[in-house]
Chain A
Amino acid sequence: MISQVFILSSKGDHLIYKDFRGEVEKDSMSTFYEMVSSLSGDQPPVVMSHKGVNFIHIRHAGLYWVVSTKTDPSPFTVVEFLNRLVALIKDYCGSVCEKTVRMNFALIYELLDEMVDYGYIQTTSMDILKNFIQTEPVASKPFSLFDLSNVALFGAETQQSKVAPSAAAARPIMTSHSGEGGKNEIFVDVVERLSVVIGSNGVVMKADVEGEIRVKCYLPSCSEMRIGLNEEFSIGKSQLRGYGAAVRVDECSFHQAVKLDEFDTYRILKICPSQGEQTLMQYQLSDELPCPPPFRLFPTVEKDYGSRLLIFLKLRCDLPPKSAAINVSVTVPVPKGSLSLSQELSSPDQTAELRPKHKTVVWEIPRFPGGAQLSALFKVEVPCLSSASLMEVGPVGMSFELPKHTCTGLQLRFVRLSPNQQGPAHRWVRYVTHSDSYTIRI
């Protein structure tokens, strides 16, 4: 059971403090912050204990979300509860950051009061909570969101009329019932996280995909929705469907509210989504990607005369020509003591920077079209360069975002609301692949 829940800013300011059982001292927030700040590493461990009180915390949006307890609860439950709290605040306020928490503290207290009683979790369901929560969220409106509204989804293309503005899904859920321009919208997102390790010989050593289908619903009440996946979607190794290239995942699990009676034959998920964000389906695929990994790297590292290190990188994007990767960032570790960097990049919108503290060179590419090949030459000045220092170059890490692309090939055939849904509703389907970890050895 939970004794206290509190939220601290990264500087230790008290943002939220709610005591449920009155059994832990009031200064536990300071105790916790002292423990966190006295640790040397940048990441304090998830569970810490002090004089019989266990503190379990998560980091999100730069804040510490902490539960203190005197018992020995299930860590899975507490961590999941804190994550759920963050998600609920995000649903209500649109985004989560120190500012929104400060502005909406009355709302958060109200939420906590309904979610937890005497340290026991009562409910975290949006459907139930929305009947009880009376405080209006105060939306923090970063000026940029409206300016960006003509930039399309994920900032990739400008087709103002056809796609939802990128800020659309980052607004509070509940504004619609206050009548200030809330639209009846429903977003279905297919989000995949890719983690890949490519060996120095170019062989893919590991390729995992963790994917999920999420629904974010702004409709106050929604009738049954039907979502059709690819017909050739198959689970496990043995089962193959359809004649085309199979879309295969290893394992798959569903939200408990999803009805699966048409899943086996037609690959249709049925659900009555509640307001807010839900994960309908999670799936994993290990090692057998249907397509080649999105990026290949051809590096050359050599010692120049004197104390200069030459790193020549040729990076190829193996996506289909129509799609593109955005916000690509390539991190190259360089030897300790690297002093300065001079670079030759192929276009002016790219940047490269040496970060001596992390001993890395970071090469940023805002947009990388499929099929293209970019190259960069880095000359790094390293005072005491030895041949062994070359060992310190690598492995290269990449982070990027692939809008409108799924690595498993999972697609939604349709998203249909039942005909007796009242009022017009806009449906949006979005695909995106994030790099969870993309490592290329040199």
Chain B
Amino acid sequence: MPYFGCEETVKDLKRALSNPNVQADRLRYRNYITRVIRCMTEGVDVSSVFMEMVKASATVDVVQKKLVFLYMVTFAGVKPDMALLAINTLRKDCDNPNPMIRGLALRNMCNLRMPGIIEYIHQPVMNALRDKSSYVRRVAVLGCAKIHSLQPNAEIDGGMVNELYSLLRDPDPVVMVNCLRALEEILHHEGGVVINKPIAHHLINRLKDLDSWSQSEVLTFLLRYRPRNDDELFDILSLIDTFLLSAQPPVMAATLRLFLHLAAAHPTVQADALMRARGPLLAACGAAAREMRFTALCHVQQVLRSQPTAYGSHYKRFFCAFSEPAYVKLRKMEILVELVNDENVALILEELKSYCTDVSTELAQAAIKAIGRIGRTYTEKCLDILTGLLALKQEHITSAVLQTYRDLAWFCPQSTAAVCRAVEGCDDLPQDDEGKQALLWLLGVHGEQISNAPYVLEGFIDGIKMEISSAVKTELLTASLKLFLSRPAEAQDMLGRLLHYCIEEDSDMCVRDRALLYYRLLQCGVNETRKVLLGPKSDPSMTIITGRTEEPVNHWASSFNTLDPLLGAESRAQDVPAEVSDADGEIRINDSDQTFQNGTLREAGDTDGTPDASEEPSLSLSPLVSHDAFEKLWMELKVLHRQCLGVPRPSVSPDTLNSAFQLVKIQILAYSRSDARPWKLYMYSWSGGSVILAELLQDRADEPHRHGNLTLSIKQHPEEREAVEGFVSVVLNVLRTLSSANSN
């Protein structure tokens, strides 16, 4: 940021620095140099006093020397020829008896980033590698890396590399760690520093002599080492075990990452390490510095992906403090939603409810949406809260509540009736686009259940001239047409008006085209329109299982203790139905090759799965299949196999059923209430590269007391007969076991 008159200032400084009177007075001289540095920090171009500064470097005053070096390092690139003048002084200082001066001169000499410097610094650096002072050796080791970065394309100096490897045994711990760092940079093209068995064990044994920064760095370097066998692996793990409970969050996080990495083939060890690190991680979540809290919270979120229940009893630690910044609060809300279970749901909802009236719009809306997420499992409690919030009649709250209603009606169809009642009672219209769209969607899709739907829509249609957003107008068109299909008598007139306005008067192309499309569609007849517009809906009698499956730790372990978890949230928060888009990427129906590859890859990574007996087919739960993806796939595929199982439906709770099937690596996605007829249950599993979808059906015709005869229908992609037979036998086994356990 150049300031007015800065040229004058620089000229004044130049004059003062070359004034012999000033040079004679140590304090005044230093004072002027300080002013040069201050100008430099502010962004003023003070390169023109380089000559004077070079002169000032020849002094016994260490403070002055340091300031001048700082200046020279900054401007050496601009004035390389003048910087060469300073080299002489610097090289002289490299032979100073005081190690501090030696180190200082060497460090700054290596920092001069300009062409041609290497010939001057190479020899001093090599000499300094054998200096008797550890301070100078530390500087020299990193100096090697600096030399390399100045000539990135030059051949690697083998002598230097050998010297550095031998310095790994240096008694000074920082020299050792610096060697690792320097080698990593120099050998970057060859894959970095080699951590073989002797080096790895040497590093581990010296861990306790290091300070916390070096510890976490060495632990990160050790990620590269692969132990030969399990004995060695467990030896290493027991040596680093104490660091898992370190009071220093960086050390704890680095150790945990190394644990997860080394024990990749031992899921129980990983789970155990995560449990042990829970205390320190929770302590970091309550650290005094809020940035540290945030970092820890992001990592807790990662752990929750694999251990959804691990922090359930500590949910109170994630209540927001009222002075915390928004980014911490948002993260805590996300975690609270994950931690909900039967015992704490009431308390968590009460806590979230108190955030809904927060002065920050962003926080209030996030709290409302969090309640909506919990509502997918605990519908009634949440709907009560949401409906209560509507009474506040505040724009941002009304809008967020309506959006939450829409999501609820979409994700759990069984709540539709309650949602519709609540929408009926809402007499306050949202003002922002998202809120309007949500309300219109609800009116269109569930218009037959909302008695005042036509009146609300009519209000919107009457005000369409004032409407700016084309997204709202398009939504209005769709909603009106859907309402017309369900309640033709009431909606016909206004639909006509709306279509007329949109086609004749509206200037927005998208809106006009959409209106034309609907108009032509209606010309084809109502039945055609219905077929196009009202696709198949989810069965409202089905309950979705919301208990998430536990993701393998290895999915995220590689990004633990990196910036990824901290950055990820911003992008994740933007696309709301994240699960859907993820799953779409995982299954591609038309691209069988890729699915196959995908599957085999996962299979190879999942060798930690249960080593079943040889006749048992190997099923696995990953990759996850979302409800939407399942539904889509189920529609597209044909029934491959249908079989009457001849066993009765076990009369156990859905949870038992769910956990029993998860044990054999089959995931239940949805099922009907136990008293429903017909009773259905949907599940899936992966076998090799192919996904098996199955429906379990108890027919209406059955007598209730017989409880009998379940029919199993199976669809598979790609087809693989053997897997299907295995799958059927597994399902049969589970059902038989459950029934017999039940009857006993």
Could you tell me which A residues sit within 8 Å of B by CB distance? 1, 13-17, 19, 21-22, 30, 41-43, 45-47, 49, 54, 56-59, 72-77, 79-83, 105-106, 109-110, 113, 117-118, 120-125, 131-132, 134-135, 193, 195, 197, 199, 205-206, 208, 210, 251, 253-256, 282, 284, 286-287, 331, 333, 336, 358-360, 386-389, 391-392, 394-395, 397, 399, 436-437, 439, 441
Contacts and interface: CB of A to CB of B under 8 A. Distances in A.
Given A206-B316, A253-B245, A399-B323, A105 B70 contact: no
Contact of B317 (A73, A77, A208): A208
B316 A14 contact: no
20 contacts: A16-B41, A19-B74, A21-B149, A30-B1, A46-B295, A76-B250, A76-B295, A76-B561, A106-B34, A117-B107, A124-B213, A132-B100, A195-B319, A206-B319, A208-B317, A256-B247, A286-B316, A391-B391, A392-B357, A437-B319
5 tightest CB-CB pairs across the interface, nearest first?
A: A437-B321, A388-B391, A253-B247, A43-B325, A397-B322
Contacts of A46: 291, 294-295, 327, 566
Contacts of A359: 359
B142 A75 contact: no
Nearest to B33: A106
Contacts of A124: 211, 213
B36 to A, nearest CB: 11
A407 B42 CA distance: 47
Given A22-B113, A49-B567, A205-B316, A81 B213 contact: yes
B727 to A, nearest CB: 42
Nearest to A75: B295
A17 B1 CA distance: 13
Given A54-B563, A76-B250, A123-B174, A333 B357 contact: yes
B80 interface: no
A70 to B, nearest CB: 12
Contacts, number: 218
A100 B317 CA distance: 36
A14 B570 contact: no
Contacts of B565: 75
A251 B277 CA distance: 12
Nearest to A20: B111
A386 B326 contact: no
Contact of B325 (A21, A42, A331, A436): A42
Nearest to B566: A47
B414 interface: no
B391 to A, nearest CB: 4
Interface in B606-659: none
B283 A74 contact: no
B113 A113 contact: no
B740 to A, nearest CB: 41
A218 to B, nearest CB: 23
Contacts of B77: 22
Contacts of B291: 46, 57-59, 79, 82-83
Given A118-B142, A197-B319, A391-B392, A77 B250 contact: yes
Interface of B is mostly: helix
Contacts of B327: 41, 43, 45-46
B561 A45 contact: no
Contact of A106 (B1, B37, B566): B37
Nearest to B108: A113
Interface in B55-98: 62-63, 66-67, 70, 74, 77
Interface in B288-328: 288-289, 291-292, 294-296, 298, 314, 316-317, 319-327
Contacts of B360: 41
Given A15-B41, A118-B145, A134-B66, A80 B249 contact: yes
Q: Chain A binding site: helix, strand, loop or mixed by DSSP?
A: mixed
A193 B295 CA distance: 20
Interface string B216-259: 11001000000000000000000000000111111011100000
Contacts of B283: 210, 251, 253, 282, 284
Nearest to B62: A134
Contacts of B100: 131-132
B590 interface: no
B351 interface: yes
Contacts of A287: 316
B266 interface: no
A336 B284 CA distance: 36
Nearest to A29: B43
Contact of B63 (A135, A386, A391): A135
Contacts of A1: 181
Contacts of B676: none
Given A77-B217, A77-B254, A117-B142, 16 more contacts: A19-B74, A30-B1, A41-B326, A41-B360, A41-B362, A45-B570, A58-B291, A75-B562, A75-B563, A76-B250, A80-B249, A106-B67, A118-B111, A333-B359, A399-B323, A441-B350
A82 B291 CA distance: 10
Contacts of A193: 286, 288
A137 to B, nearest CB: 12
Given A113-B66, A197-B319, A47 B359 contact: no
Given A14-B43, A359-B359, A391-B391, A77 B292 contact: no
B139 A74 contact: no
Contact of A105 (B38, B74, B138, B314): B38
Nearest to B354: A395
Contact of B250 (A22, A54, A80, A117): A80
Contact of B563 (A16, A72, A336): A72
A74, A122, A255: residue with the most chain B Cβ atoms closer than 10 Å = A74
A122 B138 contact: yes
Given A43-B327, A46-B294, A113-B70, A284 B359 contact: no
Contacts of A208: 286, 316-317
Interface in B328-384: 347, 350-351, 354, 357, 359-360, 362
Contacts of B295: 46, 75-76, 79
Contacts of B107: 113, 117
A77 B248 CA distance: 9
Contacts of A135: 63, 66
A353 to B, nearest CB: 16
A395 B34 CA distance: 52
Interface centre among A14, A17, A106 (most CB of B within 10 A): A106
A42 B326 contact: yes
B279 interface: yes
A49 B570 CA distance: 12
B212 interface: yes
A251 B220 contact: no
A131 B99 CA distance: 12
Contacts of A331: 322
A118 B148 CA distance: 12
A284 B323 CA distance: 20
B249 A83 contact: no
B249 A284 contact: no
Nearest to A437: B321
Contacts of B66: 109-110, 113, 134-135
Contacts of A15: 41
A255 B247 contact: yes
Given A41-B326, A123-B174, A132-B100, A80 B248 contact: yes
A14 B565 CA distance: 30
Contact of A439 (B322, B325, B392): B322
Contacts of B282: 284
B34 A77 contact: no
B406 interface: no
A13 B566 CA distance: 27
B59 to A, nearest CB: 13
A27 to B, nearest CB: 9
Contacts of B250: 74, 76-77, 80
Nearest to B219: A74
B581 interface: no
A289 to B, nearest CB: 13
